[in-house]
């Protein structure tokens, strides 16, 4: 197991290096003079010269790349062109906001998706099954930004139940400790604030959870259907075990590997989907950070944002891979 993990980890190295090359290439692939593109046509030659120098664009390409790589490895993610702040210090609060949102969305997706899939398989061809699968189909076919807009319209504008923008009220500031506000408010003992944070989370989390919920539900259903047909399930039925236990104890355990794969993949995609959700809900996460950077052509921020999200994506899939072994004793790690 350990040697497999190490081997798998080593295989990540070329992928991660390749990622840095692509991200590095973003700024160099801009047609024409990148500095001119960034600063706009009214830029003075001096400003362009200064920007070229601060971005290191006047150096040979390979020197630039190795400098870039060295900086990343030592935790320097560059400087924002827009406001001259260090990206590394700016990125964590944003990242924390995204992680909090994604985590809640994933919990919703796993709980709702797995249970809907299980019940659909258990009661195959029932009304519930059909309804769940039609909803799931629409779920995977839905632009999440549209769903987000509709949610805001229904629950904030029309019904006025939930807030539609941001992580907190404008008047409240949560004392950041971990920057995960759910935890921070509890650590501070601010239960009213905690509730407010929860209320802000609900709409964006549901929007973000839609696609993974639908995919997990479909996957769970099909892999459960396969398992429910197997002999040992029939044996368990013959022994008179209650169907509830058969489904949740025996069947789910064996249907879980493909479900786990999907969960891993979806967690990564969630981070990508966050950019759309965060834009709509004004959620100050890394997606919104990148989106704003795009508006200002703040390429260092775009680069680092994409790099950080993709890095997490790769790591999530790596961890999912390792988790297989915990659920499937048949998989032997060599």
Where on the chain is the footprint of other proteins (CB under 8 A)? 14-16, 18-19, 21-23, 26, 29-31, 137-138, 140-143, 145-146, 149-150, 152-153, 157, 268-269, 271-273, 275-276, 279-280, 290-291, 294-295, 297, 299, 302, 306, 309-310, 313-314
Question: CB of residue 104 vs other proteins: minimum separation in angstroms?
Answer: 18
Contacts 24+ apart (CB under 8 A), 139-147: 139/210, 139/211, 139/213, 139/214, 140/211, 140/214, 140/215, 140/218, 142/210, 142/211, 143/276, 144/207, 144/208, 144/210, 144/211, 144/273, 144/276, 144/277, 145/276, 145/277, 145/279, 145/280, 147/207, 147/210
- Residue corresponding to tokens 């990540």: 12
Q: Which is nearer to other proteins, 193 or 310 (CB)?
A: 310
Q: Which is nearer to other proteins, 92 or 145 (CB)?
A: 145
Question: CB of residue 96 vs other proteins: minimum separation in angstroms?
Answer: 18
Token code pair at residue 299: 């390429």
Q: Which is nearer to other proteins, 158 or 239 (CB)?
A: 158
Question: CB of residue 156 vs other proteins: minimum separation in angstroms?
Answer: 10
Question: CB of residue 89 vs other proteins: minimum separation in angstroms?
Answer: 22
Half-sphere exposure in the Cβ direction for 21 (13 Å, CA): 7
Q: How many other C-beta atoms are found inside a 10 Å radius of the C-beta of residue 26?
A: 15
The stretches of 229-285 forming alpha helices (DSSP H) are 231-238, 243-245, 252-281
Question: CB of residue 22 vs other proteins: minimum separation in angstroms?
Answer: 7
Q: Which is nearer to other proteins, 1 or 21 (CB)?
A: 21
CB 309 within 8 A of CB 288: no
Question: CB of residue 88 vs other proteins: minimum separation in angstroms?
Answer: 19
Residue 244 pairs in a beta bridge with none
Question: CB of residue 42 vs other proteins: minimum separation in angstroms?
Answer: 18
Give the torsion sign (CA, 261, 264, 267, 268).
negative
Q: Which is nearer to other proteins, 16 or 198 (CB)?
A: 16
Is the backbone of residue 315 left (phi > 0), alpha (psi -120 to 50) or beta?
alpha
Task: Give 86's DSSP letter.
Answer: B
Q: Which is nearer to other proteins, 63 or 157 (CB)?
A: 157
Q: Which is nearer to other proteins, 248 or 318 (CB)?
A: 318
């Amino acid at each position: 197991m350990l040697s497999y993990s190490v081997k798998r980890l080593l295989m990540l190295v070329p992928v991660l290096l390749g990622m840095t090359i692509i991200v590095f290439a973003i700024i160099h692939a801009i047609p024409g003079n990148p500095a001119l593109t960034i600063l706009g046509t009214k830029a003075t030659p001096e400003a362009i010269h200064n920007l070229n120098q601060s971005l290191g664009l006047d150096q040979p390409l390979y020197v630039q790349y190795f400098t870039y790589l060295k900086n990343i490895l030592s935790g320097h993610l560059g400087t924002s062109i827009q406001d001259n702040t260090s990206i590394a210090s700016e990125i964590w609060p944003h990242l924390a906001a995204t992680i909090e949102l994604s985590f809640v969305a994933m919990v919703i997706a796993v709980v709702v998706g797995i249970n809907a899939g299980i019940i659909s398989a258990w009661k195959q061809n029932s009304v519930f099954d059909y309804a769940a699968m039609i909803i799931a189909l629409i779920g995977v076919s839905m632009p999440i930004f549209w769903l987000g807009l509709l949610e805001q319209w229904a629950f904030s504008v029309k019904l006025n139940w939930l807030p539609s923008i941001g992580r907190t009220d404008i008047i409240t500031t949560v004392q950041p400790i971990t920057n995960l506000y759910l935890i921070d408010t509890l650590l501070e003992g601010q239960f009213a604030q905690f509730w407010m944070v929860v209320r802000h989370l609900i709409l964006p989390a549901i929007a973000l959870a839609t696609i993974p919920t639908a995919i997990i539900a479909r996957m769970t259903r099909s892999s459960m259907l396969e398992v429910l047909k197997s002999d040992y399930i029939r044996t368990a039925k013959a022994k008179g075990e209650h169907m509830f236990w058969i489904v949740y104890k025996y069947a789910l355990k064996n249907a879980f590997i493909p479900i786990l794969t999907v969960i891993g993949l979806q967690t990564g995609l969630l981070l990508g989907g966050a950019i759309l959700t965060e834009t709509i809900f004004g959620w100050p996460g890394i997606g919104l950070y990148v989106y704003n950077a795009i508006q200002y052509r703040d390429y260092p921020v775009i680069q680092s944002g994409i790099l950080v999200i993709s890095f997490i994506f790769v790591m999530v899939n790596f961890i999912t891979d390792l988790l297989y072994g915990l659920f499937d004793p048949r998989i032997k790690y060599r």
